Amino acid sequence: MWEIYFQEYLSRQFPAFLADKPWNYKDDLCMVGAYDLYLVTGNEWYLIPVRENAACLLKEDGTIANWKDNEHNIDKISFGKSFSILAAITGETPYREAVERVYRNLSDYPRTKTGNFWHKDIYPEQVWLDGLYMGQPFYAARLAEREERGEAAGDKWDDIVGQFETAHRLLWDEKRGLYRHACDVSRAMDWADKETGQSPCVWLRAEGWFLMALCDVYEIAKDYTPKAEVLAAILRIAIKGILKYQVPETRMFLQVVDRPDLAANYSETSGSAMVAYALMKGERLGMLPEGSYDTGSRILDGIQNTYLKKEEDGWHLYGICASAGLGPGPDNRTDRTGTAEYYLSEKQMPDNQHGAGACMMAFSERLRGRLGRYFAG
């Protein structure tokens, strides 16, 4: 059922989204998901949409869609993931050059007083959980590539691990056993607590981004630095915390994770898929104990049973938060206050890339786990 949906989605919905709006990080999530499906199944069909949609990201004249070389926006560092995939499957020079353009953007990327990449030029001195996923896996992959060429990474592995450690310190809520969405190190934003700098609530997808980032970076960094074990330790703490909030009826997690008392709260697809991915990948990599894979697989089943629906025109996936953030943003919004009511006011969008892409990635991990068990015995 999942593979039927993914193939329909990559043929129809994903190109329609790309035709409607400029390339953004959620499109990279779908590219990663499609490539993961190819890697685990060997089905070259999954490479077709990757190749066919590449022109939406890199134009014939070499222009990168929705990109400015002098802009610092951690979401757009994620474009490097798609370029890396395209370079790997085509070997074409323009994609390799685009990877380097994105990597160069990190060389002078502004940092908060705590040493983290700040979120965007319009969000200075702010650390968002989202940003760990957008920037760090790409950063780590480029370091590994340079190591393989004999270029020492120096203290850059320490930098990557240190940014996760600092994010944990800035955003962990010990009482809840969860992470707040963001921290304003300067304490300047209206949404920031004046003592901690933290935003008010726990948004599921923010947690999901962070969990996936821990797994993806650990997978790369473990071969280059013993400090990668710090990432595994953080993941174990984070998973122990969030599993306390699993919704029994759906096996998923709520949009505002710790507020089942709110009538408008709902089991959200994208963040739940990200948690499922981290559980299954975490066990595969040895970061999490045995049984984590089965827990993650059951979450994916919960998403399927709750929100994957067959309709007249094909399969559709529901329960996906279209977008959420903090502060005015480029549209000068006044409602992004970080309250639970705000997160629940954001629209849900069927088949949104966040949900479809994360489910592709989680399903790929399920298949990898099954193959591993098959070959093991």
Q: What is the CATH number of the domain that holds 58?
A: 1.50.10.10
- The predicted pLDDT at position 330 comes to 82
What is the rounded average pLDDT of the residues 279-291? Answer: 98
Alpha-carbon gap, residue 220 to 137, rounded angstroms: 8
Domain that holds residue 229: 2-376
- Among 108-112, 147-151, 369-373, which stretch is predicted with the lowest mean pLDDT? 369-373
- Among 3-17, 72-86, 137-151, 237-251, which stretch is predicted with the lowest mean pLDDT? 137-151
Tokens of 60: 């014939």
- CA 191: distance to chain centroid? 23
Cβ count within 10 A of residue 341? 13
Alpha-carbon gap, residue 24 to 37, rounded angstroms: 21
Alpha-carbon gap, residue 148 to 77, rounded angstroms: 22
What is the rounded average pLDDT of the residues 339-346? Answer: 98
Residue type, 111: R
Residue 189: name the closest of 132, 125, 128 by CA: 125
Angle among Cα 108, 163, 334 to the nearest 5 degrees reads 80
Q: Mention every residue, 6+ apart, whose C-beta is less than 8 A from residue 295.
A: 243, 279
Q: Mention every residue, 6+ apart, whose C-beta is less than 8 A from residue 123.
A: 326, 327
pLDDT tier at 173, thresholds 50, 70, 90: very high
pLDDT tier at 377, thresholds 50, 70, 90: very low
**376 pLDDT higher than 90:** no
**83-119 per-position pLDDT tens digit:** 999 999 999 999 999 999 999 999 999 999 999 999 9
Q: Are 163 and 134 in contact (CB under 8 A)?
A: no
Task: Look at the chain and report how many structural domains it folds into.
Answer: 1
